[in-house]
Structure 1
Amino acid sequence: MKIIHITDVHLVPPGQQLFESDPQERLHACLAHVATHHADANMCIMTGDLAHDGDEEAYVVLRDALRNFPVPVRLVVGNHDDRRKFRNVFPDAEADEHGFIQSYADTPAGRFIFLDTKQDGTHAGWYCEKRQAWLDARLGEAAGKPAYLFMHHPPFRIHLQSMDTIMLRNPEAFAAVVERHNIGHVFFGHVHRPVSGMWRNIPFSTLAGLNHQTALDFAESGIVTSLEPPAYSIAFFNDTGLVIHNHEFLDRSPRFRYNPNRDKGHQVQRMQSDQ
């Protein structure tokens, strides 16, 4: 099984830019690249901050961009999103009985669960008791099979001060739920950087956003934004585990075939860089 992970699209209304970049252009380039090289993917998940200011016009841009996309898509909301405006444009988006944008899908790899960690009035995340109960029930239904969580906010520190102040605010309560079950991996967004590791013996990963990034500065307490390259990730699930590749899809640096039998001059035979 193969999935695509995209995060932090930060769309704005047509004609606007964000940090001297065009989020709509980035989205179209990303989707075109996925459609060309990974149309066989089983699913594409976008883990939140679909719109920068929760504008309805931005969600229309997303809806229109996905109209002919060949891969099934699941959308997760983040702190920059607006649930009501999102549902106005995506009325078929699944929600739980309390109106949180949460759903699940049973796949050959296990149960995928898409979480809503948004808390109105703050950029930090929160997972209330109602959502915890919903998650506990959905994990219980998996009956011990691996479950994979897709969410916006990380429930742990990543050692970037600016992001750690707006992580999930009640990580212990969240951990108390997930530790009772078989969690295969946590995919998240929010931090605009490629980060991976282990939390409470659960592997996790995130990646660069589509429009802008968070500078890698461990001493800085404020949010410093950069225009490092965007990326999406390709995750392969198989009988023995999970492998994730991050791809900077706008990279056009030279490519060449390596031939160890050539002379020491290491001449290169350049290839077209379109991958």
Structure 2
Amino acid sequence: MKFVHITDTHLVPPGEPLCGLEPSARLAKAIETVNRIDGDAAFAVITGDLSYHGMEPAYRTLRDILGDLAMPHHLLIGNHDDRESFKRIFPETPVDENGFVQYTLETNVGAFVMLDSVVDGQSHGALCDNRIAWLDGELSRLKGTPVYLFLHHPPFDVGIGSLDDCKLEVPEALGQLLANHGDVRHLFYGHVHRPIAGSWRGIPATTLPGTNHQVGLYLGAEPTMLGSHEPPAYGVCLIDDETVAVHMRYFLDESARFDLGSPQSKSAASPDQLAQPPVSMQGQA
């Protein structure tokens, strides 16, 4: 199976900039690239911070842009989102019995379990007793099925102080629950605006850049969260019975694709001397 992972779109009301950029234009370009190059994906998952202020006009813009996506999409919320505003604009998104945006997507490669880690009015995340109980019930129901877990906040430190200060709080309950069930193959998260691969308690975990702005790579305790204009990307995820592979698609990259075995690639003094036009990427995984 192939699916697309997008995160931290941070849409704002029309005409309002963010970090010197236009988030809706960035997301629209990402969607255009998904359709053109990765349109054979089964679906897309967006792991929260859909909006920047949690305002309904931003969610309406998101709905309009996602209307152009050539595949189904599945949404999570993040700390910049407002749960009730989101539900008003996306009423079809499933919620659990307590109103949290949590649900399970069952596929031929396993179950994709979406979690709501939002704490109203706070940057950090948490899974309250009700949310943990819901997850426990789902994992019990899915016993023996491969599970892919999605949430906005990482349940572990990534080494960037300002992000570690607003990760998922009290992750021990989640960690113990996952250890007890043992069927989770991979954890996908957002929030950090960086391409990061690693593992947590033996479970592989990945995240990726946002579609608008990024967080600079300053390891340790910096005085404030430092933004950057590093390239945005979305994830192209490939899953089979034995493997999970996650690629980054830097959707603003327009550099040439060229034959690495060609004479030009060995002798060109600059990128401009490489063979043009670039090799088509149409339909590539």
Structure-1-length-normalised TM-score: 0.96
Q: Give 2:189's aligned residue.
A: 188
- 2:255 paired residue among 250, 253, 263: 253
Contact 1:198 1:204 in 2 (8 A): yes
Q: Which structure 1 segments of 5+ residues have no match?
A: none
CA distance in 1, matches of 2:42, 2:96: 24
Contact 2:265 2:274 in 1 (8 A): no
Q: Deviations over 1:54-105 (max 9, x none)?
A: 0100000011111232111000000000011101101111000000000001
TM-aligned CA deviation for residue 174 of structure 1: 1.3
Contact 1:11 1:58 in 2 (8 A): yes
Tell me the SS of whatever aligns to 1:98.
coil
Tell me the SS of whatever aligns to 2:19.
coil
Q: Give 1:81's aligned residue.
A: 81
TM-aligned CA deviation for residue 256 of structure 1: 1.9
Q: Give 1:17's aligned residue.
A: 17
Q: Give 1:271's aligned residue.
A: 277
| Equivalent position amino acid for 1:157 in 2 | D
Aligned residues: 275
CA distance in 1, matches of 2:118, 2:279: 39
TM-aligned CA deviation for residue 268 of structure 1: 3.1
Q: Give 1:155's aligned residue.
A: 155
Deviation beyond 4 Å, 4+ runs, structure 1 = 260-264
Q: Give 1:226's aligned residue.
A: 228
Contact 1:257 1:270 in 2 (8 A): no
TM-aligned CA deviation for residue 145 of structure 1: 1.5
Provide closer, same or farther for how the CA distance between residues 272 and 180 of structure 1 changes in structure 2, counting only shifts above 3 A.
Answer: same
CA distance in 1, matches of 2:138, 2:218: 38
More displaced, 208-217 or 218-227? 218-227
Contact 2:77 2:116 in 1 (8 A): yes
Contact 1:152 1:189 in 2 (8 A): yes
Q: 5 Å matches for 1:135-174?
A: 135-174=135-174
Q: Which structure 2 segments of 5+ residues have no match?
A: none
Q: Deviations over 1:133-189 (max 9, x none)?
A: 000111111122110001100000001001000000111111111111211100000
Contact 2:259 2:265 in 1 (8 A): no
Structure-2-length-normalised TM-score: 0.93
CA distance in 2, matches of 1:227, 1:274: 27
CA distance in 2, matches of 1:144, 1:156: 26
TM-aligned CA deviation for residue 108 of structure 1: 1.2
TM-aligned CA deviation for residue 260 of structure 1: 5.8
Contact 1:252 1:274 in 2 (8 A): no
Q: 5 Å matches for 1:22-61?
A: 22-61=22-61
Q: 5 Å matches for 1:3-14?
A: 3-14=3-14
Q: Give 2:126's aligned residue.
A: 126
The CA RMSD over aligned residues, in Å, is 1.6
| Equivalent position amino acid for 2:118 in 1 | K
User: How high is the sequence identity, in percent, across the aligned residues?
Assistant: 42
